[in-house]
Structure 1
Amino acid sequence: MRDVMRERYYRHRAPVYDETSYRGDHVVNAGLDRETAEIGKLLAALPGGRVLDVGCGTGVWTQFLRGEVVALDQSVEMLALTRVRVPGVRQVQALFPPLPFGTGAFDRLVTGNFYGLLRPRERAVFLAEARRTARELIVIDLRSDGDRHEEKTERRTVDGTTYPIYRRRFTPDSLSSELGGELMYCGLYFLAVRV
């Protein structure tokens, strides 16, 4: 389910991704930083093992993972930023799904701020691949206070190019029930569900 526009967007967005994603005023920024650190502590406390970070982006969540960690992203530019944040992490550049690993290759698959970029049919395919590839799944994504929050917005990159981006935000109940897992973190900005 290749989305060429999404690929181009993240390639162009990589250099400013961390400074501009979900950022707002100083209160929002402080809240995002606090919740990232809180989720990071939860991830770092998990047992090590073979861990795959799907859609690793700039390595924000990768930096907290323990064990034999593999960071996977479609964007070479994002992987370069992950390499700076998490030196020595094994990296794989690939379009997905399918995930380019064998059945049961990982103990845990983690994905942060990626699942909500997938449309419903893509999410179903991703979940099937995640379950095939790993024994455990942790999904971190954006919280919504409404019952449903789906949008397609025009995002502008530094060079002025605009891209249509789909984004789904979740309530604690909607993410837990869609994944069939337990809520392990519930903040104002982020949710994390463990399956």
Structure 2
Amino acid sequence: MTDGGTKAGAIGADALAGESLKAFFERDAITVARALLGCHLTVNGAGGRITETEAYFPDDEASHSFRGPTKRNGAMFGRPGTVYIYRIYGMYWCLNFVCHPGSAVLIRALEPETEIPLMMERRGTDALTALCSGPGKLCQALGIDIEINDRLLDRPPYALTPSAPVPIVSGKRIGITKNAEVPWRFGIQGSRYLSKPFR
């Protein structure tokens, strides 16, 4: 359905920080998931343009926050703009950004732009469209793991720079069985850098 490189510690002049970071994320997860498309994310200088996201809410059975705060999901109840990282299948990390407490946006895919040779080395491939085409691949390429969980996006090693609006497509979320019919997956229309095509 169609809906109409900074280094670690060096936050660019246009990057979200402080009150601008709070204002950006202190909105409902669907609004933030759409607004994140086109934004430039770097982690220790490696990164690119966000191309695909998914929204999750505290009353959403597919969300980690559905049963309330735990030791594992504590970051998901933090301040707007907090990073929440978790592991799936015992081996892949996933990157999320907190909106309202208990709501978050999963970053599903990225168009690589900075430190591409480093990302290729980490991923073991030189196929540009495959570097960050899924949550686990994205985290591997950007060197993301639990050690940089529960941090605000205006603190090292993160930097997030907003974007002008982009054309958006939406569809069902991927890899879940509960509340699977809602169209809360969003992507940049026409992008080659997606985890899966929108249908």
TM-score category (smaller protein): under 0.3
TM-score normalised according to structure 1 size = 0.26
Name the one with the larger helix percent.
Answer: 1
